[in-house]
Structure 1
Amino acid sequence: MHHAEISPLMMDALVILGAAGIVIPLFARFRVTPIIGFILVGLLVGPYGLGRMTFEYEWLSYITITDPERLEPFAEFGIVLLLFAIGLELSFNRLWQLRKLVFGLGALELLVIGALLAAFLSMLGQFWTGALGLGLALAFSSTALVLPISGTNTPVGRAALSMLLFEDIMIVPVIFLLGALAPNTGGDGWSGLLDTLWKGGLVVAIMMVAGRFLLPRLFAQAARTKSPELFLAASLLVVIGASLATAIVGLSPIVGALIAGLLIAETEYHTEVEGIMEPFKGLALGVFLITIGMGIDIETIWDNLWMIASAVIGVLTLKAVVTGVLLRLMGARPATATETGILMASPSETSLIVLAAAASAMLIQPGTAQFWQIVTAIGLTVTPLLAMLGKRVARSVDPAPTLDELGGDENAPRVVIVGLGRVGRLVAQMLQKHDRAYVAIDSDPDLIEQARREGYYAVFGNALREDALDKLGLDRAPAVILTMDEHVLAQRMVRKLRAAHPELPIIARARDSFHAAELYRSGASTAVPETLESSLQLSEAALVDIGVPMGPVIASIHEKRDEFRDQIREEGALEHKPKLRTSTAES
């Protein structure tokens, strides 16, 4: 009996799906970005990892990928979906508000860094045309990695987004410029650039006009069918159609994907589209990251370790310093400029495309292109580490406010609120309303700065560090209130606080009754499940609206709340419940 052979493409798909099934939950368990995991998987299963051993051990061919070029179309599709998702998060109004940053800061960042790198490479002996191509290639930063890390709603995310948008717009002009500088091109490159620009502008204008009329009707029709499959098909049709339209006229397909996302963001269906496309975006981005890992040859790096390390450090340092300085000159606060500069320091997936264009135009030698491709791959790999480094350095550059700056007597008892998000702010407002002193702590410097401008008493710090909470006077605090939404982190904090302060009332936010029971087991005085409180509020509103007097309603709600809390405490099975100080926190 003959067994049907599995096609190489199917084998690659199985390897990638298996990697995703292992990497995402494993790295999420240790609270590490899966970006690093996918790159390491690519390094392990690629042609420079286990793939080079398939001739000796044939069974390895079932868990390795020996031809990265087969994955390139999927990796490119991942970038297209990423730009589509970014467009869904934006809007034309928000993009218009960023125009000065995009065409001011974005242009300065790309041109200044490209010029400085080109000048430095020229001094090392590279001919000026090749140096310009290398400088522009290395000046790009990774949209695929930076924006998922920074988001688009923080000061760092907005600054990064403005620069990355300009870089995405400039991909095609840069590639045409390199073609025009090729030794045997003549004037064809310049005429091709102008031809692409006017055709591309026309296609973009048609898409923007037609999209405003057609997309709402398309998604309304898909929504009426109540079929998720049809909604997904309509979403894929839009993003693929827009990408093909810009690709046909010579523009990058990611430009079409971004415009498609912006157009859908203006409709009432953008939330549904964003949710239904999320799994595909994550998987396709994983494919792209695996291909990056496959391009890293450990042996080549080891043989040229000093040169490659010097190049990586030099590029990262130059880009971080220049980007940070430009942001400061444009009015960004020191912490934002520092963190954004370091985050944007690594080269981009686009750098690989521009390097290939420079090599095909004979502006640089194949060996030179391969060297800088390795530098780029390493730079992409360390991007998550740069993000963590940027946060640490930013905190030292822009120190956190101290209790002395909050006003009042720092030795006075204060309720300590851990986390100053939506829930933490509401708790702080209620404490203020009843004239209770408090201080809030959060590890997000931008959130702390905004909260202090709005009048909250807040300091920056990592609440997991005992010394940070001790400085807030935890030994004198009437209570500590944990408002974070992280399941494991809340339990860990409750255990640490209970061990250090056996009599301290600890009021903790819980997701549901099961989480609340775990918090009680860890030592919480009171755990408040969000699902329980929403149910009680809904019941209260319904009873009042149908005519039941407010007094009996409030009494019954309190009675039901106490009943549920007793039940959850029993589920928590507290065998050695510590003696707590009398507190009105539960009333």
Structure 2
Amino acid sequence: MTGFAFSVFSYLACSVLAVFVSRRLGLGSVVGYIAAGVIMGPLLHMTGTGSGYLESLSELGIVMMLFLIGLEIDPRMVWRLRGMLLGLGGSQVTLTIAAVTLAGFALDFPWQQSVLFGCIGALSSTAIVLQTLEERGVLESDGGRAGFAILLFQDLAVIPMLACLPLMATNSHTSAGAHGSNLLSSMPGWLATMTTFGAVGVVVVGGHYLSRPVMRAIARDGLRDIFTAFALLVVVAIALLMSAVGLSPALGAFLGGVVLANSEFKHELQSDIEPFKGLLLGLFFVTIGAKIDLSVLTHNWAFVLAATAALVLIKVAILFPLASLFRLRSSASWLVALGLAQAGEFGFVLLSLGQQIDILDAADASIGVLVITLGMVFTPGLFMILDRIVASLETSRNVSTEVDKPDSGTVIVAGLGRFGQIVNRMLLASGYKPVVLDYRADVVDDLRKFGVRSYFGDAGRSDLLASAGIAKAELLVVAIDDPGRTVEIVQQARAANPRVVIIARAYDRIHHYRLLSAGANHIVRELFGSSVEAAGLALRTLGMHPYEVEKRKNTFVQQDLAGLSRMASLIDDERRVPDNDRFIAGFNDIGRVIQEAMLGRRAQYDEIVSRGWNPPRLDESHTPDQTRQENEKTGAGE
């Protein structure tokens, strides 16, 4: 037990430290786990007694990951993205496999290794790419959606890869035993085939008809811990069954996830399995790093660098023309090409499988791990290159026609998501015709079919705002959901036209203060109004009279807006809000003030509330300065 416990301690300690540093450097968790394995194995030689058990346990992380991917398969989403998914994603995977395989032939690699390298090269890092796209606020753009469709197809393509690669094993014994002991090896061929199909049927039928009643009974009795145990039991049972008949456990887990994707327990399964998947998958990457032979890197560093660069160039050369062929704009095409140019996490899974079936030896697998890891490390650099390219495109004449030149307007709306659509519809219904700017070309095209003056482009660009008429505009509504970008747009618009009235969408209180400093006149917290409405419905459901509910809603809104003004001076940019004692004390004090007001125990309560029943005037706006002035008149700010 001592050796096993020491191995567990070593793995966890190195993982926590390495992943923390890796995330701080922007390299992602996978690189950190691999670095932890390198520290434990090649550097400190800490992989000893007990590491074999941990390695076997870590393979469950792959199984759980495929199970969760199966749970995420939504037929409606797949159908909605079918064009990009099958066309762009399928073409990218097929062409990349062909290109890398031909390169392997040219370098005199065996055909099995060439095909394996092609499969690995066709995949990209889902975790790194999606996280980066989300952080940049471009996940919903044309390029972001195309990248998501490609990544989804790549994840799906892993399933046939895992199923077909064992067929290329260098000997039949290895192929048969690739996934553990095969109970069918002594059976006649026809019986083994029927048993295999029967095992798949058991997964499908059992997942649909047997597991649901059990989960329903467990949920009815409120046995949360047993539900978690049963979820793990389902995954492990599928893996054991698939291994027994010579199939990939990961393939079976994926199939089981797809079967349960429409179950009412889908989200419960996801939340229960996710922590185990993350830990075991991280353990898998640690074991991958521990297998790296640093002497291989020392003697083959030039080849590793050349292979990484070649893979990036091949994928860029394939992705950019394909994205252009699917009518993506140049900036979106470069986003897809450079964003997905690295290899991905599933490449480590395929390398491990390649070793198991004797397609690769330890040295070749180490080189493969180094190439994949180096590509992930280079990903932030690729996005920096993307920024340079996009900046040059925006200033070059060749793409000046790519971004629309909007007509001038007195009202400009930046962003037409769920928030901006409501604003635009109300303006149109009131007789105004705003100029709408959005960076999603499909949204712009759809709006134009309805006669809405919408234009493609980034509202944060000063030249686009100038073309839209910001210098003479009376009103700008910033309705995008990217907090940082919202502040930039407000700053640029205020610099271009000090007189324009700016209404900005705020994410939270802290974003409210940033927008106020940037020059916004009116700031609307995106969930504040709907949350107040929901609270009002809750009070009515609990038996409160509708008139009293409206009074309390109005009081809450007035006092909360007044509190925004009072707390502006408590913001400290150098400290996080949870670490700001003065802000916390002020926030709690405002909470007590609101409670006293809503319970009718504050002076002039009726006078404060009565204003909410009068028709609003144009100059009664929800800005901190005006709210403070009103409070000084009524005594509400005391």
TM-score range, shorter chain: 0.7 to 0.9
Pairing of 1:568-579 with structure 2 (within 5 A):
568-573=564-569
Shift of 1:364: 5.8
Residue in structure 1 matching 2:29, options 38, 46, 52: 38
Mapped partners of 2:539, 2:59: distance in 1 = 55
Matched, 1:14 2:13: yes
Mapped partners of 1:67, 1:446: distance in 2 = 54
Mapped partners of 1:439, 1:292: distance in 2 = 54
Matched, 1:416 2:416: no
| Partner SS for 1:506 | strand
Moved more, 244-253 or 395-404: 395-404
Pairing of 1:393-412 with structure 2 (within 5 A):
402-404=403-405, 410-412=407-409
CA contact (8 A) 1:339 1:393 kept: no
CA contact (8 A) 1:101 1:162 kept: no
Shift of 1:512: 4.7
Mapped partners of 1:343, 1:514: distance in 2 = 31
Matched, 1:125 2:125: no
Residue 594 of structure 2 is matched in structure 1 by: none
Residue 61 of structure 2 is matched in structure 1 by: 78
Mapped partners of 1:464, 1:21: distance in 2 = 33
Pairing of 1:140-151 with structure 2 (within 5 A):
140-142=123-125
Residue in structure 2 matching 1:207, options 172, 182, 203: 203
Q: Deviations over 1:11-61 (max 9, x none)?
A: 31233345556666x57xxxx5xxx232443465443x5876648xxxxx7
Residue 227 of structure 2 is matched in structure 1 by: 231
Amino acid at match of 2:152: L
| Partner SS for 1:481 | strand
Residue 313 of structure 2 is matched in structure 1 by: 317
Shift of 1:412: 2.7
CA contact (8 A) 2:174 2:358 kept: no
CA contact (8 A) 1:480 1:504 kept: yes
Matched, 1:157 2:148: yes
Instruction: Name the % identity.
Output: 25
CA contact (8 A) 2:66 2:250 kept: yes
Residue in structure 2 matching 1:88, options 47, 56, 71: 71
Shift of 1:434: 2.0
Q: Deviations over 1:332-375 (max 9, x none)?
A: 74667765555554334444454455566665665444433422
CA contact (8 A) 1:475 1:501 kept: yes
Mapped partners of 1:185, 1:532: distance in 2 = 61
Matched, 1:168 2:159: yes
Pairing of 1:64-463 with structure 2 (within 5 A):
72-73=55-56, 75-92=58-75, 110=93, 112-142=95-125, 154-179=145-170, 199-288=195-284, 301=297, 304-322=300-318, 333=328, 339-340=335-336, 342-355=338-351, 367-383=363-379, 402-404=403-405, 410-417=407-414, 419-443=415-439, 457-463=453-459
CA contact (8 A) 1:39 1:381 kept: no
Question: How many pairs does the alignment contain?
Answer: 553
Amino acid at match of 1:565: L
Shift of 1:157: 2.0
CA contact (8 A) 2:34 2:286 kept: yes
Q: Quick one: structure 1 residues 294 and 4, their matched pair in 2 at CA, closer, same or farther if it must change by over 3 Å? A: closer
| Partner SS for 1:231 | helix
Mapped partners of 2:64, 2:310: distance in 1 = 32
Amino acid at match of 1:177: M
CA contact (8 A) 1:138 1:347 kept: yes
Mapped partners of 1:255, 1:170: distance in 2 = 10
Moved more, 167-176 or 227-236: 227-236
Mapped partners of 1:486, 1:143: distance in 2 = 22
Amino acid at match of 1:479: L
Shift of 1:176: 1.9
Mapped partners of 1:78, 1:483: distance in 2 = 41
Q: Deviations over 1:239-261 (max 9, x none)?
A: 33333332332222222332232
| Partner SS for 2:170 | helix
Gaps in structure 2 of 5+ consecutive residues: 134-138, 179-183, 572-617, 624-638
Shift of 1:161: 1.8
Q: Quick one: structure 1 residues 361 and 312, their matched pair in 2 at CA, closer, same or farther if it must change by over 3 Å? A: same
Q: Quick one: structure 1 residues 13 and 163, their matched pair in 2 at CA, closer, same or farther if it must change by over 3 Å? A: closer
Shift of 1:266: 0.9
| Partner SS for 1:7 | helix
Mapped partners of 1:199, 1:447: distance in 2 = 51
Q: Quick one: structure 1 residues 285 and 178, their matched pair in 2 at CA, closer, same or farther if it must change by over 3 Å? A: same
CA contact (8 A) 1:75 1:284 kept: yes
Mapped partners of 2:170, 2:568: distance in 1 = 69
Moved more, 537-546 or 196-205: 537-546
Amino acid at match of 1:85: L
Mapped partners of 2:89, 2:531: distance in 1 = 48
CA contact (8 A) 1:105 1:163 kept: no
Amino acid at match of 1:81: M
Gaps in structure 1 of 5+ consecutive residues: 56-60, 576-581
Residue 521 of structure 2 is matched in structure 1 by: 525
Amino acid at match of 2:10: M
TM-score (norm 1): 0.73
Q: Deviations over 1:308-350 (max 9, x none)?
A: 2222222233234345656777x57466776555555433444
